[in-house]
Amino acid sequence: MHASQKLKLLRTSRNLTARQVEEASRRIAAVRSDKRFYISNSWLTQLEKGISEPSICKLFSLSAIYQVKFDDLVRLYGVHVDEIQKYYTVAMPQSTKLLSRNIAEIENLQSLSESPGLKMFQRSTTLLPANADRMMHSPFPQLSSRQATRIAYGYIGLNDMTMYPMIRPGSLVRIDTSQSKLQSVLRHNQFERPIYFVELRNGYTCSWCELQGNDLLIIPHHSSPGRIRRFTYIKEAEIVGRVIGFDTACVDEAPAEKSPTQQAVDGSGRFYET
């Protein structure tokens, strides 16, 4: 059933005429001192015929008149307000960001693979088989409720080559926020070296780190095109936590002649725990 038909059904189920809706909206507009909340009889008729679509203000009035939650009315038009966070990476895929501190939310982020928006996003940044099974669950192992309270999740932006190729752009990382202090550990190879998710003044990054006096050094992977960056600790850079797992791809999609910043991420990803 089309949204316009559902709106008409809402009105008739409440035994309201279009004229009564008009008068009710007039009172709302008067209290708000804003004519945008006013719904004329003729405009409501057009709305219920699917000729026009409502503005936010008019939906507000209909929500009050029909005594229906605003979010439910918006949902009639295919807009789910509670899914906004899922589109953070779709809207700004080039930026590294802290996604969530809630395991249920990260699982919801994976369900975006069912949405047209992310399918377009995937095609533009990853190489996936046309018949590949869509991810329905988080790639990370399940956590106990006690563990989940200290776990956050991050997304590595398409412009963030800091840990390339160990952690490629477009990857998801799991962060243990209880490990927010630099650790001096004996390591035999690069995989044993702690990786940290760092909050900067203008965003986030994921890297190896070292402290030199009051400076925090952001150290890129030795194969990365990035360079070492220096920030005043904690004023300019603060550690969110240690990266304890990541979901990354194995190879780049783009031909060799393209620079790493132009390359997208292949879909043949592997999950690693550190």
H or E element in which residue 200 lies: strand 195-200
Q: pLDDT tier at 115 (50, 70, 90 boundaries)?
A: very low
Name the token pair of 238.
């603060």
From the number of C-beta atoms within 10 Å of its C-beta (0-12, 13-18, 19+), residue 108 rates as middle
Percent share of the chain, pLDDT over 70: 74
Distance CA(264)–CA(135), nearest Å, equals 19
Whole-number Å distance between alpha carbons of 6 and 256: 53
- The Cα–Cα gap between 68 and 66 comes to 5
In the chain the domains, ranked by start, together with CATH numbers, are 3-79 (1.10.260.40), 84-273 (2.10.109.10)
Rounded Cα distance between 212 and 219, Å, is: 12
Q: Is the pLDDT of residue 262 over 70?
A: no
Tens of pLDDT, residue by residue over 154-209, are 888 888 999 999 999 988 888 999 999 998 777 778 888 999 999 998 889 999 99
Answer with the residue of higher pLDDT: 89 or 200. Answer: 200
* Percent of the chain residues topping a pLDDT of 90: 50
Token pair 């953070």 is at which residue?
Answer: 88
For 207-253, what is each residue's pLDDT tens digit? 999 999 999 999 999 999 999 999 999 999 999 999 999 988 888 75
**Given this model, what pLDDT does residue 250 score?**
85
CB 153 within 8 A of CB 106: yes
Q: Is 33 left (phi over 0), alpha (psi -120 to 50) or beta?
A: left
Please state which of the ranges 98-102, 116-120, 131-135 shows the lowest mean pLDDT. Answer: 131-135
Name the one residue in this structure whose structure tokens are 């008067």: 30
